[in-house]
Structure 1
Amino acid sequence: MSPANDDGPSVLVPTGVAPYSYPCLRSLGRRGVHTVAASEHDHVPVFASRFCDETAALPSPDDDLLAYKDALVGLAAREDVETVIPVREYDAYLLSKYRDEFTDYVSLEVPDIDTLARVHDRVELAAAAEAADVPVPETRAFDDVEDWSGERILKSRYNLLADQYVETHAPSEAEEVNDVTHVRPGESPDREQLLAEMNHAPIVQEFVPSSDEYMFAALYDRGEPVATFQHRQIRGNSYTGGGGVYRESTYDPELERVARDLLGELDWHGLACIEYMEHAETGEYYLTEINPRMWQSLPSTVQAGADFPYYYWLQSQGREDEIDPDFELGVGSHLLYGELGYVASVLRDDSPLVERPTLRETAWEIGESVVRQPKFDFLRFDDPRPFVSGVVQTLSKGD
């Protein structure tokens, strides 16, 4: 177990190599909270941040999920550690499933495991959306589909494959399956091939023609909203969608309504990142998925004034009355390597359902938005080392 910090309260932030934990370290570190970044990797770009006060080593959750959990509990048991922030799907799952082990030592703002299961299982999530009377694509288990005449999308049934949800995984095993396949009308996918690739039977959703994609983020306290935020996703990881790499903060009362109705149906507690598609014909907001943790685009959320890491900290300390949920509209931010990934998708990806933009059009749109909104997720001039470390690490992998 690592030594305790004697200078004040600490926050534990588990992290992978990807820098999505950086806003948590920056937000809380600059407010005097001692930040402990813990990872199974040795060379993590956020370790170089001036807002990272301490680092800790963890076993790999891919090798042994229970050993990873036990190491997190050991860090949480330190007298100075007050809470743990879920950044990755592993952490969201473990903090809910083994909440009693953690809350012997720290305060957590996470849903119970039964509520989490309704969100992690996309069939159950679709049923919850229908119960809340909010739009959701028709969603069915693969083995329940007989008619393949329409446009369909195949995706993992679960946010995380783990023993709570599937019989194929032991308690020490978990994995994320992020494959999304667009299926042409009349094409019947090979079940055995899908099982081999995805390690479970996926779900089948109707394809919803969308004009825009949106994110609704929230922190809830036992079914009641404490803070909410919205952005419009301009570009994702791919031209077919995915996590946002350029977005602008916005507000639409209808999006607020459908998201709150869904979270109310779930009696939600803790963080929620809900992705939506705006139907190209009806303008309705169709649910895509919920991530019960901090999100990839968190840096742009914080830059717009919605400081969810700080909100989470305040709620964990019983100081919800200090949270100011206001944010600025029209603020955009870029994930630079994500923008490069978007360009790469234009060059190499192919979808029978989504029209591919031209390379010239793509380059113009990215250039125009960088000039108009010169804000970046991880390139911060008052703390450049995480970005530089990430670039060096990426280049070294190419050698």
Structure 2
Amino acid sequence: MMPDMAVSAHVVKPLRVLLSEGNSTSAREAITILGLAGHIVEVCDPSPYCFARFSRFVAKFHRCPSMRDDPAGFLTFVEKLLAARHFDVLLPIHEQGFLFARVAPCLADRVGLALPSFANYRTAHSKVGFSRLLDRLGLPQPPTRIVESESELRDAVRFPAVVKTSVGTASRGIWFVRNDGDLEGALRELNGQDLSIRGAFADEVLVQEFVAGTTEKAQAVFCRGELIGFHAFRQIAGGAGGGEAIKQSVSRPEMRGFVATIGRELAWHGALSVDYIMADDDTAPRLIDCNPRLVEPMSAYLAGLDLVSLLLRVSQGEVPASAGESRAGVRTHLAMQALLGCAARGGTRRDIFRECWRLLTGAEPYADSAEELTPVRRDWVSAVPLTMVAIFLLIAPRRAAALARGGWGAHLLDPKSIRRIASEDFYNG
């Protein structure tokens, strides 16, 4: 049974919205929500075959420079686009928010845009900065040490542990170390990162105690530091690259309070998402990561809360009233993640075929679950990427990890591009 979708009580004229990338699952879900609301969606992305190309809801696609390899060129492209065409809202659905926050005062008079100050964005974007913020606010996180060298890391690790670089998206820069072999492998990768003679230790590295439990995510929209929309979901089944294949919405008043505290401290403006662990020992949630953006908003939408609509209103300078709670117990899934996850866990062609059949027939574990990423009935073109992924995995199931990494491309940041954007001489207005 399909859950009821969010219905906004705030009726507005269709807006012209520019999405700053079109290759992430978050962007693809936002496109569906915007399209169903009647908004005019345009997308810029460096890949000519990104998800956004396969949607009837995208009015125009703009191929742009890579933000990772050429952040100044990407910014110039967006500025020219804003000058040449009218847009009501610029929606930084992924890490483009880092770049736009850096130059937000120069964009503010050209387009609606909801972002906090660059300093506060950097705090939320950095795993080290977020950990220090949690310490300052007295909010729960796993026991954590911040290290600056290989020797410090070796001294800090107590198995099992989690090692994290200061910056990373989609589980990049995260290692689960359970023994000496895992640790040596993590150190080789850390030292092999071409950042400086110190590798990843050119920035700080986190070492956290491993907490057994279930991963959940909280999504929020803020208006000038005040929380106006909140949704949380639990991972039921994992996909590839740390993503969720099956989710279920949950009610988490305690997490709502924690996220509200974070947003208030950072005077947050726009979207913010926080990952946390519900520990097996039933203690308080342990906060483990922060994404200064809206992550896969369809779960909230299908649970009755349209966070994208709230974000558009905040971007236009409105001050919306706080939205009601989303419904708990709404189960959703991403078929593409389910197939990639099946293959990544060593699934054979037969296993992948069986997973395809379960998805098509709505058999367990997909009974009473709604598809998030590929809304075929409303947007038939969206079936093309899913079909291609299914065929690819049936031919070469062992290539699942390589296929999943294709989504971690030129539309994302790396440490070098982050330093370039943050440098004093990056932008002259």
TM-score bracket, normalised by the shorter chain, equals 0.7 to 0.9
Q: Report the equivalent of 2:417.
A: none
Q: Give how far 1:34 is off.
A: 1.8
Which secondary structure does the structure 1 equivalent of 2:107 belong to? Answer: helix
Give 1:1-399 correspondences, 5 Å limit.
Answer: 9-78=15-84, 80-89=86-95, 91-137=96-142, 138-143=144-149, 144-145=152-153, 146-159=155-168, 178-185=172-179, 189=184, 191=187, 193-197=189-193, 199=195, 200-201=200-201, 203-237=205-239, 242-295=242-295, 297-321=296-320, 324-347=323-346, 367-392=363-388, 395=391
For 1:36 and 1:42, the matched residues in 2 are separated by: 14
2: CA distance between counterparts of 1:155 and 1:365?
35
Which amino acid letter does the alignment assign opposite residue 155 of structure 1?
K
Cα deviation code 1:314-334 (max 9, x no counterpart): 112233437744422211111
Contact 1:246 1:334 in 2 (8 A): yes
Name the residue aligned to 2:425. none
Aligned residues: 363
Counterpart of 2:377, as a letter, is F
Shift of 1:365: 11
Shift of the 20–56 alpha-carbon distance from structure 1 to 2, 3 Å rule, reads same
2:266 is matched by which residue type in structure 1?
L
1:80–1:130 distance in 2 versus 1, CA, 3 Å: same
Change (3 A) 1:26 1:140: same
Structure 1 counterpart of 2:262, which letter? Answer: L
Instruction: For 1:277, give the aligned amino acid.
Output: I
Distance 2:358 2:47 in 1: 36
| CA 39–134 in structure 1, closer or farther in 2 if over 3 Å, else same | same
Provide, for residues 329-380 of structure 1, a one-character-per-residue CA deviation record: whole Å limited to 9, x for no partner.
Answer: 21111111211222234328xxxxxxxxxx9xx9799952212324343233
| Percent of pairs with identical residues | 20
Asked if the contact 1:75–1:81 (Cα under 8 Å) also holds between the matched residues in 2, the reply is no
> How far did residue 243 of structure 1 move?
2.2
CA distance in 1, matches of 2:93, 2:248: 22
CA distance in 2, matches of 1:193, 1:45: 30
Name 2:403's counterpart in structure 1: none
Q: 1:20-40 CA distances to partner (integer Å, 9 max, x unpaired)? A: 323322322333322111111
Alpha-carbon deviation of 1:147? 3.7
What does the per-residue CA deviation read over 1:190-249, in whole Å, with 9 as the maximum and x for residues that have no partner? 7565221474226232233232111111011121101111111112235xx822221111
Structure 1 stretch displaced more, 97-106 or 180-189? 180-189
Provide the rounded CA distance (Å) in 2 between the counterparts of 1:394 and 1:347: 15
Residues 392, 375 of structure 1: alpha-carbon distance in 2 compared, 3 angstrom cutoff: closer
- After TM superposition, give the deviation of residue 177 of structure 1 in Å: 7.8
**2:249–2:329: 8 Å Cα contact kept in structure 1?**
yes
CA contact (8 A) 2:228 2:320 kept: no
Higher relative contact order (Cα pairs below 8 Å, separated by 6+ residues): 2
Q: Write the letter of the residue equivalent to 2:215.
A: E
RMSD: 3.1
User: Does structure 2 conserve the Cα–Cα contact (< 8 Å) formed by 1:259 and 1:274?
Assistant: yes
Q: Quote the offset at 1:88 in angstroms.
A: 1.9
Q: 1:134 to 1:322 in 2, by over 3 A?
A: closer
Contact 1:218 1:229 in 2 (8 A): yes
Aligned-partner Cα distance in 2 for 1:120–1:376: 25
Contact 1:152 1:185 in 2 (8 A): no
Q: Does the 8 Å contact 2:228/2:321 carry over to 1?
A: no
